[in-house]
Amino acid sequence: MSEAEILVERHGRAGILTLNRPKALNALTPGMVASLRAALEDWRDDEAVTRVILRAAGDKAFCAGGDIRQVYEQGKAGDPKQAEFFADEYRLNIAIKRYPKPIVSLIDGIVMGGGVGISAHGSHRVGSERTTFAMPETGIGFFPDVGGSYLLPRMPDETGMMLALSAGRLKQADALWTGVLTHAVNAADLEALQATLCEADDIDAALAEAAGRCDPGPAPLAARAARISEIFSATSVAAILAGLEAEAATAGENGEWAGKVLGAISSKSPTSLEISFEQLRRGGALEFEDCMTMEFRIVSRILKGHDFYEGVRALIVDKDNQPVWQPSRLADVARDDVLAHFEAPEGGDLEIR
């Protein structure tokens, strides 16, 4: 008998949900999404459960996203139910954002894509020195979904736009500074912290005590915030790239940094870059549910395009790391094609329930 992909337990006042696919870096499957949603619904009105703890088995990854390869194979096979996983996943993200009880995510290791969606929208996000946050979607011809359109524009000084376009990563200190994490703790304290959280009268006090024993150090992004804000507040992707090119031509650390970010963005799908830019600019003014409706519109369209399948082929299937984007130049991405991703899909908008 195979082991459950989600372990559902009760300890003290807490409901505990454990992602249990450590060999697959706890990547989300449709069954895991359904199990998480069901447990949250069961505990919503259960007076004995006053808080939820979300954790993961293993120490390499909290959750490395959704099972993108399965989505790729569904698309190649013409499966009409391909978008259903995203609809269910987005509804789970909304349920977590709306949840009336504290949800404490203990994020230890890699968290990206779908893992961000199930952790970053809860009330308390706790990360260790092993935490690495990433939204790598533009590198596979996709876009930063699972609430990225809400989360990323609300990061300080346009750091969210930089992360979205460059598929950048955040370690503990930067994740705390940008607001992805509410608390930084030592990995060695996580087990004891979980036990304390199951019984504590004051969750915030328990978390503050654990955080007081951790020194994440200065956030590297904070030191460069002014330049990031100036460059990434531009009105187009092309203008952002021009700003990075100008900065990269200067001497010193800022020039070196700009060159690396420029190189990272330039390797991404031009179509994904334009979609993601539009997505974040719109998302900054939208409520969470409206962001998720927008993201379902985008995913419904992007799954019918070329670059997602080419990106997955190059980075995950064949692993040649040589995607051939269509179009290959930013200047050749048609504005009308970008805007089409923000129109209601043929099957209708996301049903929020």
Least confident interval from 58-62, 104-108, 170-174, 304-308: 58-62
pLDDT range class, residue 29, cuts 50, 70, 90: very high
Please state the domain count of the chain.
Answer: 1
| Ramachandran angles phi, psi of 270, nearest 5° | -55, -40
pLDDT range class, residue 3, cuts 50, 70, 90: confident
Q: Which pLDDT tens digit goes with each residue over 116-125?
A: 999 999 999 9
pLDDT range class, residue 79, cuts 50, 70, 90: confident
What are all long-range contacts of 67-71, with beta carbons under 8 Å and residues at least 24 apart?
67/24, 67/27, 67/28, 67/29, 68/113, 68/140, 68/142, 68/312, 68/316, 69/312, 69/316, 69/317, 70/29, 71/303, 71/312
Q: Which pLDDT tens digit goes with each residue over 197-216?
A: 999 999 999 999 999 999 99
Which amino acid, 295? E
User: How much is the pTM?
Assistant: 0.96
Separation CA 122–CA 96 (nearest Å)? 6
What's the mean pLDDT in 18-27?
96
User: Beta-strand (E) ranges in 173-329?
Assistant: 183-184
Q: What is the CA radius of gyration of the chain?
A: 20
Q: Which pLDDT tens digit goes with each residue over 133-159?
A: 999 999 999 999 999 999 999 999 999
Burial call 263-287: b when 16+ CB within 10 Å, e when fewer: ebbeebbbbbbbbbbbbbeebeeee
Task: Indicate whether 1 pLDDT > 80.
Answer: no
pLDDT range class, residue 81, cuts 50, 70, 90: confident
What is the residue-averaged pLDDT of the chain?
97
Higher pLDDT, 79 or 323: 323
Residue numbers of the domain that contains 280: 1-346+349-353
Task: Indicate whether 58 pLDDT > 70.
Answer: yes
**β 14-19/6-11 pair status:** antiparallel
Residue 351: helix, strand or coil by DSSP?
coil
Task: Indicate whether 298 pLDDT > 90.
Answer: yes
Q: According to the model, what pLDDT value does residue 353 have?
A: 85
Separation CA 163–CA 170 (nearest Å)? 9
Please give the share of the chain, as a percent, with pLDDT higher than 70.
Answer: 99
Q: Which pLDDT tens digit goes with each residue over 212-266?
A: 999 999 999 999 999 999 999 999 999 999 999 999 999 889 999 999 999 999 9
| CATH, residue 69 | 3.90.226.10
- As annotated, the active-site residues are 66, 114, 137, 145
pLDDT range class, residue 18, cuts 50, 70, 90: very high
Q: Which pLDDT tens digit goes with each residue over 303-319?
A: 999 999 999 999 999 99
